[in-house]
Chains A and B, each alone.
Chain A
Amino acid sequence: MSSASPASGCDAPPVGVDGILRERGQREVFCGLTGIIWLHRKIQDAFFLVVGSRTCAHLLQSAAGVMVFAEPRFGTAIIEEKDLAGLADANEELDRVVNRLLARRPDIKLLFLVGSCPSEVIKLDLSRAAQRLNGRFSPNVRVLNYSGSGIETTFTQGEDACLSALVPDLAFSDEKQLMIVGSLPDIVEDQLTRLLGDLGISKVVSLPARKAGQMPGVGPNTKYLLAQPFLAETGTALDKRGAEHLPALFPFGAEGTTAWLHAAAQAFGVPEARFEQVIAGPRERARKGLALYREKLAGKRIFFMPDSQLEVPLARFLAGELGMELVEVGTPYLHKGHLIDELAALPPGTMISEGQDVDKQLDRVRAARPDLTVCGLGLANPLEKEGLSTKWAIELVFSPIHGYEQAGDLAELFSRPLHRRDLLRV
């Protein structure tokens, strides 16, 4: 949007031929390790062992907040000076840590060795370590590995890396089935599975499953719907196993959820009349829930800083169903294939940016003075102090926001900061 072009001081941003602004520079984002915080809640008998530095451990405890006090199923094997001296030593040390860990937590059935920047840079081969440990602990514990390092992954890409590590491990299944891909809060997963069942799709499975032993099978008769926009690698891995991707909008808001369900209905030959009949009730509820917030949000200008890759679908929802104006939609990474429907549904001329140079982007925020800026916790208070209302983005990853029943809650997350601003007299 033209209003986003910088008023003064900085160079014209390098917009590509596809109209997308691509920037390199300082990025104010989480690394993929953060995904552990929600993944360990989802897979109830998995443990996530980060092999990294004190920084990694400190990041996890800062991001997990009070969760770290509840005997969580994650931890960090902190690399020490002596591990850096020789790599053979590091492998022995890792085995020792894993032995101790599994002896203490016999309930663990799936162990992820999670790579970090330090472990990647010293080229500690965690896939070989996982193989070795599998030899020792199989069949009681399955050991897999993926990287959540900041040099390779941004925030939610950690989940993508984790799920794509699971895919080659899934059993073969020739059964005709629909797979929902992406970890969702249990209640949301149940709602969506119920709706798909009501449409007459007899077998609906989820990746990840709630238990390590219940991971779904996959094969050429599997069709999958992505529940999250950040699953590029997982999609590729599923394609390799012969599964078929059903392109759709992501299930945010009444329209997004309808389109998402519709993609499944069409692929499974559900008659339109039945589809209408099943979704009419919940869709109406969602629309009613949204109407309340439309008054508050319509015409308000919103700016997304890059964070989770949820930005494009959320911007589509806020513009399309609540009438917000999009100043800039920043995303850490844009998978055009998976977002093809989303991009088409955005208002024409929407300014999309991929990557980040945080200081320049903040200059654009200040020049545009949007009504609401969606950003990380390192930026939110400083922007509030400048008189700009913010919505901190991490909450959008932790809260139940998908599907019809959460549409109103999702809108509420965006209207709350504005409502509070109107309310306060201090």
Chain B
Amino acid sequence: MQLTVWTYEGPPHVGAMRVATGMRDLHYVLHAPQGDTYADLLFTMIERRDHRPPVTYTTFQARDLGKDTAELFKTAARDAYDRFQPQAMIVGSSCTAELIQDDPHGLSLTMGLPCPVIPLELPSYSRKENWGASETFYQIVRTLADKERKPLPAVGENGPRRPRANLLGPTALGFRHRDDVAEITRLLGDLGIDVNLVAPMGSSPADIAGIGEADFNICLYPEIAAQACSWLERTFRQKTVKTVPIGLLATREFVSEVCAVAGLPVPTDLDQGRMGWWSRSIDSTYLTGKRVFIFGDGTHAVAAARVASEELGFKVVGLGCYNREFAREVRAAAEKYGVEPLISDDYLAVEEAIEAAAPELVLGTQMERHIAKRLRLPCAVISAPVHVQDFPARHSPQMGFEGANVLFDTWVHPLVMGLEEHLLTMFREDFEFSDAAGPSHLGHASAPAAPAAEQAESEVATITAPAPAPAEEGGWTNEALAELGKIPFFVRGKARRNTERYASEHGVTTITRDTLYEAKSHYAR
């Protein structure tokens, strides 16, 4: 048993729901107890969908257990077919139904439903949401892909046709999947490539049947589509574009890879957005060497580490993912940045790692956002799981050149802007700018107790005030404490810890201003 308060991933049947909800004209009959319908609200609330997810639950209760839950399943499946008339159905069990061992597969076969029925085996006690989504999509593709349907000849009656690609992986409840698809579709259009099929999101079972008509596949989200892509490679000889186009450099590589696979020249006049210049402009100089901790799903974390290090000039001080399936990729990347990889789905372990790494910026999921808030660190969200605010109304991709623009804005905004930071540090001792002063627009009357306290300033307020005691706890002299207070708040904790560690390692009992600077030079990065 594992004690859990918060989980990065839901159970595998939620992954199956994400595939089903992303698609059209497909229905999911889920053998599950009353109560499991809670998952509907992830889609109707977080993603703000205006339809119910296409899922029928058998919602059996205790009184049904002595009787025939199998019969309940059959009734639910038949009613669902009659009501929704789907082109295909997927059937399976949630964690509890897995235990009572009705066999949705066998049952649905004997029912002779007038549409393809795809059984799902989702082991709830060993696998999770991403795995469930991947397996579901794979089974759907495997069952529904029409092996007779191959790409049209490259040259037809009207001359050569444009190459065609499948965009595979986007689902319901995917982090920015909606906008990534729009962005990549547009980019492919600019390259002269048509999209044959986007799946699972937006496709119907009939559309899936024509998946073989594309010249190649683009695996947008390996967590969900890698398995299906590799089957398609074997079955239809379709090549897979594996570069995930998150970040400027990755997008350029994606363009090269796509063009190579499609047999097209790489265009020289592509609009590559503003990110490159924004990052080179002098206001971004202060970003150099900013310590960043990165955690999320494997794909987004690895992509973010590259953007952080090669495109923004940050220093990656931590890298990890919660989905074990992508541990290898994350380990390889962590080695590149010389950090210890963190493969864990325990948010307490992540919190410890963040504290130990003392970053200046955290890039992570909804959970890291809260950890960062608690540690008073700037933070931006780069990966699912996310809450409702990260399903925005505005166009906000992560992929492609526009995605790179979005990444720049999203990651840089939580940091204090360069000039602002410089001025604040320079005039730190000035009464109006001191840490203890409130924002001037609130008027001076409110200054001492002003909301500036949000930034952990209470600690400093006691420091800058004339303190009578000669030495405070931990052996700090007032003079040293005052100096500590001049260090920008977001590295102050680290300076304090380093100094205290230095003092204890060198047998210094009284920490003076000099000790502070000796420690600083000792631990200089």
Contacts and interface: CB of A to CB of B under 8 A. Distances in A.
Contact of A150 (B1, B7, B36, B41): B36
Contacts of A359: 79, 83
Interface in A46-78: 49, 51, 53-55, 57-59, 61-63, 66, 68-69, 72, 74-78
Contacts of B37: 26-29, 378
B119 interface: no
Interface string B44-55: 110011111100
A359 to B, nearest CB: 6
Contact of A26 (B6, B41, B58): B58
Contacts of B33: 31, 117, 149-151
Contacts of B40: 28, 377-379
B1 A78 contact: yes
A97 B1 contact: yes
Interface string A311-330: 00000000000000000000
A380 B14 contact: no
Contact of B41 (A94, A122, A378): A378
Given A29-B35, A31-B34, A121 B96 contact: yes
A170 interface: no
B42 interface: yes
Interface stretch (B124-132, B134-142, B186-194, B426-434): B124-132
Interface string B71-108: 00000100100010000000000111001100000000
Given A94-B1, A97-B1, A53 B38 contact: no
Contacts of B41: 62, 376-378
A121 B100 contact: yes
Interface in B364-418: 367, 370
Main secondary structure of the interface of B (DSSP, over half): mixed
B49 A84 contact: no
A120 B62 contact: yes
Contact of B95 (A118, A152, A154, A384): A118
Interface string B194-234: 00000000000000000000000000000000000000000
B44 A27 contact: no
A55 B36 contact: yes
Interface string B2-18: 11111101110110000
A26 B50 contact: no
A1 B45 CA distance: 32
A260 interface: no
Contacts of B370: 66, 69
B323 interface: no
A152 B64 CA distance: 10
Interface in B10-33: 10-11, 13-14, 33
A57 B35 contact: no
Contact of B128 (A27, A54, A96): A54
Contacts of B123: 81
Contact of B126 (A61, A68, A81, A118): A81
A54 B1 contact: no
A93 interface: yes
B85 to A, nearest CB: 13
B337 interface: no
B59 A68 contact: no
A300 B35 CA distance: 31
**Which of B7, B50, B56, B60 has most chain A Cβ within 10 Å?**
B7
Contact of A27 (B13, B59, B62): B59
Contacts of A413: none
Interface residues of A, number: 62
Interface in A356-381: 359, 376-381
A101 interface: yes
A33 interface: yes
Interface in A380-425: 380-382, 384-385
Contact-residue size bin, chain B (C-beta under 8 Å from the other chain): 35 or more
Contacts of A53: 11, 95-96, 124-125
Contacts of A94: 1
Given A27-B59, A61-B6, A381-B45, A55 B99 contact: no
A55 B11 contact: yes
Contact of A93 (B1, B44, B52): B1
Contact of A384 (B7, B50, B52, B128): B50
Contacts of B65: 121, 151
Contact of B61 (A34, A81, A152): A152
Given A79-B1, A382-B51, A68 B6 contact: yes
A385 B53 CA distance: 14
**Which of B35, B57, B126 has most chain A Cβ within 10 Å?**
B35
Contacts of B11: 53-55, 58
A79 B52 CA distance: 30
A336 interface: no
B347 to A, nearest CB: 9
A376 B39 CA distance: 12
A84 B125 contact: yes
Contacts of B50: 381-382, 384-385
A80 B62 contact: no
Contact of B7 (A61, A72, A80): A61
Given A62-B42, A378-B44, A151 B10 contact: no
A115 to B, nearest CB: 11
Interface in B326-385: 367, 370
A83 interface: yes
A33 B33 CA distance: 13
A146 interface: no
A121 B48 CA distance: 34
Contacts of A62: 38-39, 41-42
Contact of A74 (B5, B42, B44, B45): B5
Contacts of B49: 381-382
Interface in A170-200: none
Contacts of A122: 99
Nearest to B56: A26
B57 A26 contact: yes
A30 interface: yes
Contacts of A76: 3-5
Contacts of A61: 5-7
A117 B44 contact: no
B3 A97 contact: yes
A28 B65 CA distance: 19
A343 interface: no
A54 B124 contact: yes
Q: Which 7 pairs from chain A and chain B are nearest by CB?
A: A31-B35, A150-B35, A378-B40, A385-B50, A117-B96, A53-B95, A377-B41
15 contacts: A30-B35, A34-B38, A51-B1, A53-B95, A55-B14, A83-B125, A90-B1, A97-B2, A117-B35, A121-B100, A149-B35, A150-B59, A377-B45, A378-B38, A379-B44
Interface of B: 1-7, 9-11, 13-14, 33-42, 44-45, 48-53, 56-62, 64-65, 76, 79, 83, 94-96, 99-100, 123-126, 128, 367, 370
Given A68-B6, A381-B48, A381-B49, 10 more contacts: A31-B33, A59-B39, A61-B5, A61-B6, A79-B1, A84-B99, A93-B1, A100-B3, A151-B61, A154-B34
Interface of A: 25-34, 49, 51, 53-55, 57-59, 61-63, 66, 68-69, 72, 74-81, 83-84, 90, 93-94, 96-97, 100-101, 117-118, 120-122, 149-152, 154, 359, 376-382, 384-385
